[in-house]
Amino acid sequence: MNNTLLFVYKSMKTENTKFNISEIFYSIQGEGSRAGMPCVFIRLQGCNFRCDWCDTPYALESNDDAEWMTGAQILEKVNSFECDFVEFTGGEPLFQKDSVDLINDFVDNGFLVAIETNGYHTFENLNSAAVKIMDIKCPGSRMQRFNNPDNFKYLTQNDELKFVVLNKSDFDWAVNYIKENDLFAKVSIVLFSPVFGKLEPVQLSEWILESHLPIRLQLQIHKFIWEPNTRGV
């Protein structure tokens, strides 16, 4: 039976809007508070940042090599995986002009939605039911000057903050940034993740323990399940 033929969706604002898509795949969620859950990943092409340690360099430029899909086609493809948890990622998922409408369309269609975002573009029009995982850039990324504190006012206890840490200097910077912006009060989960292959998890764990702060260690578990450079997992 072709499941996609049976799928009836609520009307979508982005039904006929085209998006530049890097890949859509079904895998184990490797990050955040829902790590370990089956999830469909929608990777949008294009990002306004160039983090030193970016692990998706193939998704940074909008280009015609990647597929262009309408909102309806994306929804149909996602539905074929029979999984109601989706994550919008990239690249930067809010980089494309109509991404917010696409994300809201998925919320309206009953999906549990997470967004892995660098937080540069405003969260103002995002449906608050979508879980924002805001990746605040430490100096080691060389992108910290683009962090956008204006978006902190849109965070709720439903959302999560993430700091990818390269070294002790990044760790100390992140702790100070959290305190200066009162971020432990704004969200329930603050994640620190080591730059894969550059900082040993045991070292980050020791710094977290010494700090006595409610920081949660995050390892990208998909990089331990599969070979670290494997795409589509």
- Residue ranges in contact with ligand SF4 by CB under 6 A: 47, 49-51, 54, 56, 60, 90-92, 118
In the complex, minimum distance from the CB of residue 211 to ligand SF4, in angstroms, rounded to a whole number: 24
Residue 146 or 224: the one with the smaller Cβ distance to ligand SF4 is 146
In the complex, minimum distance from the CB of residue 53 to ligand SF4, in angstroms, rounded to a whole number: 7
CB contact set of 212 (below 8 Å; sequence gap of 6+):
none
Question: Which residues on neighbouring strands pair with residue 87, listed in sequence order?
Answer: 41, 114
In the complex, minimum distance from the CB of residue 115 to ligand SF4, in angstroms, rounded to a whole number: 12
Which strands form 85-89's sheet, in the order they lie side by side?
A: 67-70, 18-28, 38-44, 85-89, 112-117, 131-136, 160-165, 189-194, 216-217
Residue 9 or 53: the one with the smaller Cβ distance to ligand SF4 is 53
Question: Which residues on neighbouring strands pair with residue 44, listed in sequence order?
Answer: 21
Residue 4 or 230: the one with the smaller Cβ distance to ligand SF4 is 230
Residue 50 or 179: the one with the smaller Cβ distance to ligand SF4 is 50
Number of H helices, E strands in the chain: 7, 9
In the complex, minimum distance from the CB of residue 147 to ligand SF4, in angstroms, rounded to a whole number: 11
Residue 15 or 52: the one with the smaller Cβ distance to ligand SF4 is 52
- Strands 18-28, 160-165: pairing is unpaired
In the complex, minimum distance from the CB of residue 174 to ligand SF4, in angstroms, rounded to a whole number: 16
Contact predicate 128/155, CB 8 Å: no
